[in-house]
Amino acid sequence: MSSASSTTSETQPIMDLEREFLLQNYARYPLVLDRGEGCHVYDVEGNRYLDFIAGIGVNALGHNHPRIVKVIREQAGLLIHSSNLYYHRYQGPLARKLAEVSGLKRSFFCNSGTEAMEGALKMARAHGNKISPDKFEILSIENSFHGRTLGALSVTGQPKYRHDFEPLLPGIKFLPQNDIAALESAFSQRTAGIVIEWIQGEGGIFPISAEYGRKARELADRYDAFLIFDEIQCGVGRPGTWFGYQLASPVVLPDVMVAAKPLACGLPLGVIVANEKAAAAIGPGMHGSTFGGSALACRVALEFFEILDELMPSIRRVGDYFRARLRELARKHSFIREVRGHGLMIGVDMTVPGKQMVLDAQARGLLMNCTHDTVLRFLPPYIVTEAEVDAAITILDSIFKAQPSE
């Protein structure tokens, strides 16, 4: 595999220009990507990388997928965007497909994860408002991540993201994950909703227990509050089921579910999917989006769902294989504490920081990232093969061997 992270002639001016003219909010890796093919990307210097982060879980079919490229080309020549003043051919069929796979009836399309979360919070607030002015509290889980806009940030259970922007929404309570007693005592008649990631992503790949999910369902029913699942990172095929909440048997159905990242294989598309009761909270004029659900994004998402139908067994098989191979590494390298995840959402929890390992992996031709300082996170494309997992494992093993603690 040819790879190197050297910053040569083309790379440096691109980075310099950004440093001069962009908000300096991102700590980008020194890598300028140029094109991709399948599970690989190439930088502007021609170096090739195995892409095991896939645009943070967005590029579900990798890069340059022939069917996705074909429909983008075709639809771009017909109609890209029409606004929600008018109908187009693709929102209805996509919403029907989402209803089939999610078990929830009605969709609202938007453009990103955080925007979907905003809409879901508005649903819970509007529902509470109809019942009592005091019913506005939202419960959320410590260590969660729900987005960067003010509402989504208000329910994000990591103070480091919130503290610069306080005061945020009132009436938010954070609960320890999987603590059923805390969950029971947090609910009251003031609770309008509870927001849960079935598998925390940004927080370090931590699944909730089915028992916890079931208890949240029961309490939401008892207190007439909305159960909202954030499936933005852990949903849409990534866990080897359509959505994370379908990992539980029997399934724990939420009132509202939000998804985004992989939905349109790289085009911005987010969605709120709700049951009839939750959908009724939003009446005419109460919510909207200019860009949401464009013809282009919805058509791509429909094509993606057709492909995903066939990919599901391989997501489970290759995901299991990847975890098994990582567990072999864990037996060899004592600083690996645990390998977690479902399907192709995988975290390697370590006793040492992972930041330098991410750079070392990049220098050897593997893209991954590190979350929560010590968790290596892998969100490879759904088309990844066992052979590509083997290539990643070889690189990881060489990096782990070079650790000072070894």
Ligand X SMILES: Cc1ncc(COP(=O)(O)O)c(C=O)c1O
Binding residues for ligand X, rule: CB under 6 A, are 56, 112-114, 117, 145-147, 197, 201-202, 230, 232-233, 260
> Cβ closer to ligand X: 264 or 330?
264
385: left (phi over 0), alpha (psi -120 to 50) or beta: beta
297: left (phi over 0), alpha (psi -120 to 50) or beta: alpha
In the bound complex, what is the minimum distance in angstroms from residue 276's beta carbon to ligand X?
A: 24
In the bound complex, what is the minimum distance in angstroms from residue 233's beta carbon to ligand X?
A: 3
In the bound complex, what is the minimum distance in angstroms from residue 323's beta carbon to ligand X?
A: 20
**Coil, helix or strand for 403?**
coil
> Cβ closer to ligand X: 333 or 377?
377
In the bound complex, what is the minimum distance in angstroms from residue 156's beta carbon to ligand X?
A: 8
Task: Give the pair of three-digit tokens for residue 195.
Answer: 């927001």
One DSSP character per residue, 201-266 reads TTTTSEEPPHHHHHHHHHHHHHTT-EEEEE-TTT-TTTTSSSSGGGGSSS----SEEEE-GGGGBT
Question: Taking CA 148 as the corner, what is the angle to CA 308 and CA 122, rounded to the nearest 5 degrees?
Answer: 80
> Cβ closer to ligand X: 202 or 303?
202
> Cβ closer to ligand X: 233 or 246?
233
> Cβ closer to ligand X: 5 or 114?
114
In the bound complex, what is the minimum distance in angstroms from residue 77's beta carbon to ligand X?
A: 28
Residue with smallest beta-carbon separation from ligand X: 113
Distances (CA, A) of 228 to 116, 157, 258, 403: 11, 15, 8, 41
Which residue, chain included where needed, has tokens 């864990």? Answer: 330
> Cβ closer to ligand X: 268 or 354?
268
CA dihedral 140, 256, 101, 79 (to 10 degrees): -110
In the bound complex, what is the minimum distance in angstroms from residue 138's beta carbon to ligand X?
A: 15
